[in-house]
């Protein structure tokens, strides 16, 4: 008997609410706190690493889906191995800061493990055409997975933003995958439900932060789901790009600008558009709500592309225009200035 995605999301959300409360108590007892500094956008010490609850619940769902036969064994092994490594390194990084090199090696290893078990990405659908990529496609997929892990970490800087965006992206994915790849649909529903449950604790004012254990895991999961969807005939990769369009655009444009201006691009900072929106006077809740609404709009474009391949260029063009306008609007309110900081 196949459970509906809504039921899975509801059960997972409830479990995550409870487990996040447990993780919060442990974080306080162990003094795993995010203490405000010059880069922070919060004012009081707050427990972090709450994403551990998301990791435990979602990985449990992956195993359950594998046991039921909704996910193939190679997909389960690839997801469990890669996601566990990302979450474990993120957890340690939340407890005590790890060198960038250690985190980078772990991320590449996690992505490589997943792709080795699932077969990589040898073809790519572009509109109603399919391009053969060969080994280049797998290299591209590995880079995309590592970048997705990092951009979710970069974008998880204010209350509710990462969890809210994940709920929207996972919700659209669950709907589109339902009739094509039901196992991935249930997994997407679980990711959305876990993110929603975590939001009960993380919405402004946050009582616990997601930490690297949660943000890195979400980035890994969305990237790997996109690869599995592309390989399995589900929503094309471009739809997943639109689902995560707000995060991808802000993180990528900000990184490129920091590189061009000669800043230490790998150092922590608060130059992202969403961070500057808060610095300009907007509340965390207002900015996160704006990101959620904008993500929903882009998500609808992703749905349109999945349903009608000929809408690819209009949807991509419209999304890029909308994101550029929003970015320039924030730039006018609070221009991006050079920052010198280190992790």
What is the C-alpha separation between 11 and 190, in angstroms, rounded?
A: 9
Range 176-196 average pLDDT: 97
Question: Is pLDDT larger for residue 310 or for residue 39?
Answer: 310
Confidence of residue 340 (pLDDT cuts 50, 70, 90): low
Q: What are the structural domain ranges in the chain? A: 5-333
Per-residue pLDDT at 116 exceeds 60 = yes
Beta strands in 66-180 (DSSP E): 123-126, 129-132
Per-residue pLDDT at 43 exceeds 90 = no
Token digits of residue 271: 């130059």
pLDDT for position 250: 97
- For the chain, the first-to-last Cα distance in angstroms comes to 49
- Give burial (CB, 10 Å; 0-12/13-18/19+) of 341: middle
What is the C-alpha separation between 172 and 174, in angstroms, rounded?
A: 6
Phi/psi of residue 38, nearest 5 degrees: -65, -15
- The model carries a pTM of 0.95
What is the C-alpha separation between 209 and 48, in angstroms, rounded?
A: 4
Give the list of residues 6+ apart from residue 10 with CB closer than 8 angstroms, or none: 193
Per-residue pLDDT at 56 exceeds 60 = yes
The secondary structure of 213-271 as a DSSP string is HHHHHHHHHHHHHHHHHHHHTSS-HHHHHHHTHHHHHHHHHHHHHHHHTT--TTS----
Question: What count of other Cβ atoms lies within 10 Å of the Cβ of residue 320?
Answer: 12
Range 181-209 average pLDDT: 97
Question: Is pLDDT larger for residue 25 or for residue 4?
Answer: 25
Confidence of residue 46 (pLDDT cuts 50, 70, 90): very high
What is the C-alpha separation between 231 and 4, in angstroms, rounded?
A: 23
Token digits of residue 225: 């789901």
pLDDT tens digit string along 64-110?
999 999 999 999 999 999 999 999 999 999 999 899 999 999 999 99
Residue in the block written with tokens 């006077």: 281
């Amino acid at each position: 008997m196949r459970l509906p995605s809504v039921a899975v999301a509801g059960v997972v959300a409830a479990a995550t609410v409870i487990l996040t409360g447990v993780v919060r108590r442990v974080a306080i007892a162990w003094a795993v706190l995010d203490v405000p500094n010059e880069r922070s956008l919060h004012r009081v010490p707050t427990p972090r690493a709450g994403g551990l609850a998301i990791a435990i619940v979602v990985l449990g769902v992956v195993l359950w889906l594998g046991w039921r036969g909704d996910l193939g064994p190679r997909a389960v092994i690839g997801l469990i191995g890669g996601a566990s490594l990302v979450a474990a390194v993120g957890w340690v990084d939340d407890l005590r800061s790890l060198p960038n090199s250690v985190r980078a090696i772990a991320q590449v290893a996690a992505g490589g493990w997943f792709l080795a078990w699932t077969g990589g990405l040898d073809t790519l659908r572009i509109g109603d055409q399919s391009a053969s990529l060969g080994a280049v496609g797998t290299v591209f997929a590995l880079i995309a997975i590592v970048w997705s892990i990092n951009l979710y970490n970069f974008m998880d800087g204010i209350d509710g933003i990462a969890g809210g965006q994940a709920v929207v992206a996972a919700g659209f994915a669950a709907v589109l995958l339902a009739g094509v790849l039901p196992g991935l649909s249930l997994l997407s529903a679980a990711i959305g439900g876990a993110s929603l449950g975590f939001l009960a604790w993380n919405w402004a004012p946050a009582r616990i932060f997601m930490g690297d254990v949660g943000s890195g895991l979400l980035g890994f999961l969305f990237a790997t789901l996109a690869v599995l969807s592309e390989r399995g005939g589900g929503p094309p990769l471009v739809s997943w790009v639109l689902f995560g369009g707000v995060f991808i655009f802000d993180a990528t444009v900000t990184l490129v600008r920091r590189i061009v201006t000669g800043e230490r691009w790998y150092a922590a900072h608060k130059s992202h558009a969403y961070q500057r929106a808060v610095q300009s006077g907007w509340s965390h809740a207002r900015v996160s709500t704006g990101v959620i609404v904008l993500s929903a709009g882009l998500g609808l474009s992703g749905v349109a592309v999945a349903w009608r391949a000929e809408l690819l260029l209009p949807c991509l063009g419209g999304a890029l225009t909308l994101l550029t306008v929003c970015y320039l609007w924030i730039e006018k309110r609070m221009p991006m200035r050079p920052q010198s900081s280190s992790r």
